[in-house]
Amino acid sequence: GNATGFYELTVPTGGGKTLCTLRYALAHAEKYNKKRILFIIPLLSVLDQNVKVIKEFIHDEKEVLEHHSNVIKNLETNGEELDHYEYLADSWNYPIIVSTLVQLLNILFSQQTSAIGRMQALCDSVIVIDEVQSLPKKITIMFNMAMNFLQEFCNATIVLSSATQPCFEDLKWPIHLAKNPDLVRLTWEQLQVFKRSDVINHTDAYGMDWEECAAFCEELIQQHDSLLVVCNTKAEARILFEKLQGRAEASWDIYHLSTSMCQEHRWDVMEELHGSLRKVRGNTEKRKVVCISTQLIEAGVDISFECVIRVLAGLDNLAQTAGRCNRSNEYGHAGKVYLINLKNENLSMLKEIKKAQNSTRKVLNIWKDDKVNILEEQVIRKFYQFLFKETETEIKYPIKDYDTTIYLAELLSNKNKSACNSRNAGYVLHQPFKTIGRNFKIFDHNTTDILVPYGEGADIAEQLSIMQERWFEVEKLRGIMQQAKKFSISIYEWQKERLEQAGMLYTILDGRVLVLDKRAYDEHFGLIVTDEQPAENFIL
């Protein structure tokens, strides 16, 4: 094994990264006397799956502490157990911890004292950061600085794991990788083992309008048993779903997935989808399966289609989507992944996707030759170089202060001119940590959770109304609120205003819970409010 340091694991999607990093972390921790192993996972869709894999491998799952907003504590247990969990969650004094990127970043940068209390747990540990490409862009430089600090001063070993490794080491504030940073170096022959699909660049200078796009989907459905289309926005997914419904034949099963649907709704659809795909693969029925989704299906969702279409975005998105094509070679031949672009796409609210698109276009212009796999390491590296150039200022975490833009990353840097003034000369540290802590927010959007009338959601709303009179039954109320999470969705301020104007929201429990009218929740699409804003797939 390698000494304490900073490493990378770059393996194609579906290559078994979780177990690979877990085995490495255990061996490394034993050899170099590390106190604990931290698994940091950015996305909710990946989390449950990875926890399952880790617990199965570790035999004694009491050794694994989960810490994120989705842990449903069994509230019927005695208070002592709950106190014990809260103590462990506050201190992270535990052998193996599975948590989220948001929790880790809060320990490093936020001003919450509860988070800062976990800083000691990061010392002398092995930290595995999964799907590192989904780090929010604005945090990039601060992330590099913090990781270097943890590695160099706190004796942590850090492993960045991804199918599309961003070239953080090329930036102005780079990460300091070990001498031989690759934990695994796959040869060309070994990479072919993981090759499940051919990526076909089907973009052109003009892009497709909706009719052309629907016709292209139809053509592919005729040739394949199953098709997944991943769109950039909820509006796109909805329009395409409706277009294909109009063209559908009796033998098609069409599904739609987006974060406008509550978690339970998405799970139900996924379960049905899995069932349909199994039948198609087992040839028990001559049916076709089509799924139109937003990017929530991209990372970590264990599902496999024979053919996939991705609307133009970053190459990292394309790689993730390709991971949903012939995932475990179930189809016995290479699947097809098509990259397409849309005419007049509205990405005014999604500047990050726009910039990633531009960077992908530049890369496609260089590698016009069909013989090059555009998900090769050299191509992805170039893509990130373009993207970091394109987002040069965004990655330093800009904030508005007194009408000027300042960068939190620069404030943290030891070369920060304004902090290194004569007034601060007497201090060892010159950085304005309080200002940074106060301004640090992982998401810019203020969202509100609302309860939706899907499945048991209406029932839960009723139970909560009754609890208004019985608010003193705290345990029971807490239990119902936990259940409500699965039937809730997050909405933005502008959506809330629009729904209130239309009389589609009402409050219960003294205004503490917002409930959506059933007329505003569709069986296919979930919440119906037009217009777009960024979809967050992160978990706290």
Q: What is the residue-wise DSSP string for 516-533?
A: E-GGGEETTTEE---S--
Rounded distance, CA 175 to CA 146, Å?
9
E strand segments, 345-502: 398-401, 404-407, 447-451, 488-492
Say what the pLDDT of residue 113 is.
Answer: 83
Q: What is the pLDDT of residue 536?
A: 43
pLDDT number for residue 331: 86
**pLDDT at residue 533, as a whole number:** 45
What is the residue-level pLDDT of the chain in tens, covering all 540 positions?
A: 578 999 999 887 766 788 889 999 999 999 999 999 999 988 766 777 788 888 888 888 788 888 876 654 443 445 566 677 777 778 898 899 999 898 999 999 998 888 888 999 999 999 999 989 989 999 999 999 999 999 999 999 999 998 889 999 999 999 999 998 988 877 777 777 777 889 999 999 899 999 999 999 999 999 999 999 999 999 999 999 999 999 988 899 999 999 899 989 999 999 999 999 999 888 777 899 999 999 888 866 778 999 999 999 999 999 989 989 998 888 888 899 999 999 989 888 788 899 999 999 999 999 887 667 888 888 999 999 999 999 999 999 998 887 888 899 988 887 777 667 777 777 888 888 888 898 998 877 678 899 999 999 989 988 888 877 776 777 788 888 888 888 999 888 888 988 998 899 988 877 888 999 999 999 999 998 655 444 444 444
What is d(CA 491, CA 405) in angstroms, rounded to the nearest whole number?
28
Alpha-carbon distance values, 215 to 85, 88, 170, 218, 418 (Å): 54, 55, 42, 5, 58
Q: What is the pLDDT of residue 466?
A: 83
Q: CB–CB of 438/479 below 8 Å? A: no
Cα 213 from Cα 201, distance rounded (Å): 15
Q: What is the pLDDT of residue 453?
A: 92
Number of Cα atoms under 13 Å in the Cβ half of residue 288: 21
